[in-house]
């Protein structure tokens, strides 16, 4: 019998949310293993053996460990129900939104980054930085395209 998937994640992780939404939509069962990012559990030796980058989510599928939310989601893109529209343009806009979130927004306001900014400056600078990263991505692109992409 095939071993159940194991998902290492944290309840406040946006990368974890999209994986959990996908697995749930696909009706895929998994064992949930919490990694408390605020307590620094992502840097525990046992977890670093699973994901040396020290980030969640990490999906263990037998011998294979996938440590990126987009890769996990795409691995589950078949069979039905589809996660993306069949229309070419809508599909492209969906990829665009996914790419902007995963490379243009999330990394700029990741825990490690904002902790570094806070350490080098102050709390106000950190909030301004996060707001700017999120606002730019959402208003500059995601909201602009929301009617055409779905
Ligand atoms: N590209 C990765 C990014 C993973 C990532 O940065 N996860 C964040 C939580 S959303 C994390 O684990 N941060 C830990 C830290 O910054 O120490 C993905 O989409 O899965």
Q: 82 lies in a domain?
A: no
14 close to ligand 1 (CB < 6 Angstrom): yes
Give me the domain span that covers residue 64.
5-75
Is residue 65 domain-shared with residue 11, that is, in the same domain? yes
The percentage of residues in the chain with a pLDDT greater than 90, rounded to a whole number, is: 64
Instruction: Please tell me the distance between residue 109's alpha carbon and the centre of ligand 1 in angstroms.
Output: 10
Give the chain's mean pLDDT: 90
Could you report how far apart the first and last alpha carbons of the chain are, in Å? 38
CA dihedral 114, 115, 116, 120 (to 10 degrees): 100
Ligand 1: nearest atom to the Cα of 16: 10
Structural domains of the chain, count: 2
Ligand 1: nearest atom to the Cα of 19: 20
Range in 2-11, 62-71, 101-110, 136-145 the model is least confident about? 136-145
Instruction: Please tell me the distance between residue 31's alpha carbon and the centre of ligand 1 in angstroms.
Output: 19
Encode pLDDT of 2-18 as tens digits.
789 999 999 999 999 99
Is residue 9 domain-shared with residue 49, that is, in the same domain? yes
Encode pLDDT of 49-97 as tens digits.
999 999 999 999 999 999 999 999 988 766 688 888 989 999 999 999 8
Q: 80 lies in a domain?
A: no
Does residue 31 surpass a pLDDT of 90? yes
CATH of the domain at 44: 3.40.30.10
């Amino acid at each position: 019998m095939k071993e159940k998937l194991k998902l290492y994640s944290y309840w406040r992780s946006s990368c974890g949310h999209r994986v959990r939404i996908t697995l749930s939509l696909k009706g895929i069962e998994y064992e949930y293993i919490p990694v408390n990012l605020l307590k620094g559990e992502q840097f525990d030796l046992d977890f670093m053996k699973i994901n040396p980058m020290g980030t969640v989510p990490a999906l263990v599928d037998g011998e294979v460990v996938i440590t990126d939310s987009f890769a996990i989601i795409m691995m589950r893109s078949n069979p039905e129900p589809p996660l993306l529209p069949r229309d070419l343009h809508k599909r492209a806009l969906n990829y665009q939104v996914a790419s902007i979130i995963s490379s243009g927004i999330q990394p700029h306001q990741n825990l490690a980054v904002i902790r570094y900014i806070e350490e080098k400056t102050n709390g106000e600078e950190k909030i301004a930085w996060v707001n700017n990263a999120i606002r730019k991505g959402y208003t500059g692109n995601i909201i602009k395209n929301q009617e055409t992409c779905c």
